[in-house]
Amino acid sequence: MSKLSRRKLLTAGLAAAGVPGLGIAARLANRYGLIPPDHGGLFGPGQTLTYASQRLLTRNTFAREFSPKDISTPCFNAKPPTSEDFQRLRAGGFADWRIQLDGMVSRPGSYLLSEIKKLPARSQITEVACEEGWSFIAEWTGLPLAHLLEEAGTLPQAKYVVYFSMDHFSMNSNDEVSVESIDMDEALHPQTLLTYGMNGAELPVPHGGPVRLRVPRQLGYKSVKWMTRITVTDTLKGFGARLGSADVEAGYQWYAGI
């Protein structure tokens, strides 16, 4: 598709989403973070439209929260990591589990999970929706990621948060660990939780225990389990083979808003 028609499509879509001034819409879109990192890639303008209109319409929205009677039978889809490191940490009741926070922050650091648990928690009953078609509702308890990011002081040029797991669910890359990423809007959203509790108990290992990210406004694959590291960055280049996402490598969209 030519540059011109792509631009036309994009501006038309933004106009439909309520952005005035067709001529300058594309430029504004870029400035206001409405162009997803995979805009020119596999998904092209359609992906940009989805991302831009979602970002305009959902900037201040919340994933639906349910009531306790809606909690349903959980399913899980991945085997816990088999590495010796994981076995050792598990044998120690995960007392030594740490989350490293680095990149574009004033105060990089490494937090013991027990320290994270002392910070103000939030509980919410939300749905995990897998791209394969199944879903379930559970209560999730954890620390809003925004809290940790504020504590570490994200730099103004930060655009994305990349996070890593201890397992290997990356299909096409040679990464040691799996990787996913979200934009700052999602990272700072109050429902995005460093989750260590599920249905009133410790987060079970099959669901990512001792700690996973829950990103309830996006499909399940963004909710990475067995999380060990968070990096704040202004580019996704260099994280995994494609766009800081094992799932993009596998063919899924980077922005998985629901």
Residues that bind Mo ion (CB under 5 A): 130, 220-221
- The interface mask with ligand MTE, positions 145-174, x = CB under 6 A, is --------------------x-x-x-----
Query: Closest Cα partner for 216 from 163, 164, 139?
Result: 139
Among 11, 141, 178, 181, binds ligand MTE (CB under 6 A): 178
| Contact of 167 with 96, CB cutoff 8 Å | no
Smaller CB separation from ligand MTE, 10 or 128:
128
| Contact of 255 with 180, CB cutoff 8 Å | no
Smaller CB separation from ligand MTE, 183 or 247:
247
Start-to-end CA span in the chain (Å): 27
Residue nearest to ligand MTE (CB): 220
**213: enclosing H helix or E strand:** strand 212-214
Rounded Cα gap, residues 91 and 102, in angstroms: 27
Among 53, 141, 223, 253, binds ligand MTE (CB under 6 A): 223
Instruction: Looking at residues 68 to 107 of the shown chain, list those that interact with ligand MTE (rule: CB under 6 A).
Output: 75-78
Total of residues contacting ligand MTE (CB under 6 A): 17
Nearest approach, Cβ of 83 to Mo ion (angstroms)? 22
Instruction: Looking at residues 10 to 69 of the shown chain, list those that interact with ligand MTE (rule: CB under 6 A).
Output: none
Strand 98-103 to 109-112 pairing: antiparallel
Smaller CB separation from ligand MTE, 32 or 134:
134
Exposure string for 171-207, b = 16+ CB within 10 A, e = fewer? eebebebbbbbbbbebbbbebbbbbbbbbeeebebeb
Residue 193 contacts ligand MTE per CB under 6 A? no
**What are the residues binding ligand MTE (CB under 6 A)?**
75-78, 128, 130, 165, 167, 169, 178, 207, 220-221, 223-226
